Structure 1
Amino acid sequence: MQDLAIWYEGTALAGALRGSGHLYMVVNAAHILGIGLLLGAIIPLDLRLVGIIRSGPIGIVGPFLSRTAGVGLCIALLTGGSLLSVSASEYLRNDAFRWKMALLGLGMLTIAAQHGGGRWRRAVETGVPDPRTRFLAALSLMVWLSVLLSGRWIGFL
């Protein structure tokens, strides 16, 4: 894994980001935007599915928030992968980064479990999430907040 990290640090992308403070700043800001879109959509969606928030029909807010979270996740993954190139070897040695990657994987598995099968579609169509959908929403909420916290933790280790 270290060899791959060293190769990634030698790419043109890594060189461009290291060579331009402005480019690094823009990519970093885009990463924050992606995180904001992801969490800004997933938190109210999960709270609605769990039943803590009761207003807003799931059939209306669910698809919009789900797509917004998806866009945010794509932005965060693309920009995060770019930022990783600057110091991949160092990040791989950071416990918080490794936790973040594991939790990120769990978050994406949670998304796949939530949207796989017909439960999500039924919740959107009927406005009534079943117990599994509620459980996955609660898990999603905990996982994505943990991804956020572990990401912030990176800079302190």
Structure 2
Amino acid sequence: MSETALARALITRPTLYIFANAAHILSIGVLAGSIILLDLRILGLFREPRLSVLGPFLARSAMVGVVFSIVTGFIIFSVDAVEYAANPAFLTKLGLLVAGIANALALHASPGWRVALDSNEAPVPTRIGAALSILIWISAIVAGRWIGFI
């Protein structure tokens, strides 16, 4: 993969790599900021604004963050795919990314999500999913930082 035109451009023009890395960090910020605020709201940390107003907006924002973090992550991965693919922290991060996305999809497909939007109060299983979400996404960020130390 390191032989693609994109990888060569990032390797031969370090400024491009810096911008790709910065874009990845910004997209993770959008993802984590959105999803953690949504999860804290589901957990009842604050009561306003109503979940029916805040929830869909933050869920869409988190989705944008996920998409951009995957795209920018793939760009960074292309620079040294073989090394990244062998890195346990990278593999852990990928597993957590999949788990976070699966948890979000399950949460939003559950009847509890609709109840939470309609009543402004999340049922216990939905709260458990929100707590799990916070744990997964923070763990994914930690695993991502860990990549450079292995």
| TM-score calculated relative to the size of structure 2 | 0.94
In structure 2, stretches of 5+ residues that fail to align are: none
Structure 1 counterpart of 2:106, from 95, 110, 113: 113
- What's the counterpart of residue 91 of structure 1? 84
Offset, 1:56: 2.4
Deviating runs (4+, > 4 A) in structure 1?
Answer: none
- What's the counterpart of residue 148 of structure 1? 141
For 1:89-143, what per-residue CA distance to the aligned partner results, in whole angstroms no more than 9, with x for missing partners?
1111211111111111111110110111443233112212112211110110000
Amino acid in the other structure paired with 1:90: E
Alignment of 1:68-107 (within 5 A): 68-107=61-100
Offset, 1:55: 3.4
Offset, 1:47: 0.9
Alignment of 1:6-21 (within 5 A): 8-21=1-14
Moved more, 121-130 or 14-23: 121-130
Q: How far apart, CA to CA, are the structure 2 residues paired with 1:77 and 1:60?
A: 27
In structure 1, stretches of 5+ residues that fail to align are: 1-7
| TM-score calculated relative to the size of structure 1 | 0.90
Q: How far apart, CA to CA, are the structure 2 residues paired with 1:107 and 1:127?
A: 23
CA RMSD, 1 decimal:
1.2
**1:30 and 2:23 are equivalent in the alignment:** yes
Q: Do the aligned residues in 1 keep the contact of 2:38 with 2:54 (CA within 8 Å)?
A: yes
**1:44 and 2:62 are equivalent in the alignment:** no
- What's the counterpart of residue 134 of structure 1? 127
Moved more, 101-110 or 47-56: 47-56
**1:62 and 2:55 are equivalent in the alignment:** yes
Q: Do the aligned residues in 2 keep the contact of 1:44 with 1:53 (CA within 8 Å)?
A: no
